Amino acid sequence: MNTQKHERLAEYIRETAAEYLSRESNRDSLITVTRVELSDKNDHARVLITVLPTEKEEGALEFVSRRKNDFRLYFMKKIDINRTPRFSFAIDMGEKNRQRLDEISKRL
């Protein structure tokens, strides 16, 4: 697939996931979609999130994992593509580590 189309699809998934989670979450925590890792064949998309406060990460991850099929249906209504990817959600450890490094550097 064209790299530009691949990147556009990944960005559209990120935006749509952020919109969906904003509407569906219980506001007990702030769930932010940081990026999407899309497979080469566009058949799987891993949506990476961060959660504030961090103590609510486990509950938020359970919530988004339970709702992944609902999100897939929501996504299918928003965009017409031949094959809708399967979705999974995970905590963005790269972003979490970056934030931790920022905290450490501020202390120094």
* CATH number, domain with residue 12: 3.30.300.20
The CA–CA distances, whole Å, from 70 to 3, 18, 77, 88 equal 28, 14, 11, 12
Which of 35, 30, 31 minimizes the C-alpha distance to 12?
A: 35
What pLDDT, on the 0 to 100 scale, is given for residue 40? 93
**Residue 108 C-alpha from the chain's centroid:** 32
How many structural domains compose the chain? 1
pTM value is 0.86
> Has residue 1 got a pLDDT over 70?
no
Segment 25-56, tens digit of pLDDT: 988 899 999 999 999 999 999 999 999 998 99
Distance between CA 60 and CA 22 in Å, rounded? 12
Segment 63-90, tens digit of pLDDT: 999 999 999 999 999 998 889 999 999 9
- Domain holding 11, by residue range, is 3-107
> Has residue 93 got a pLDDT over 60?
yes
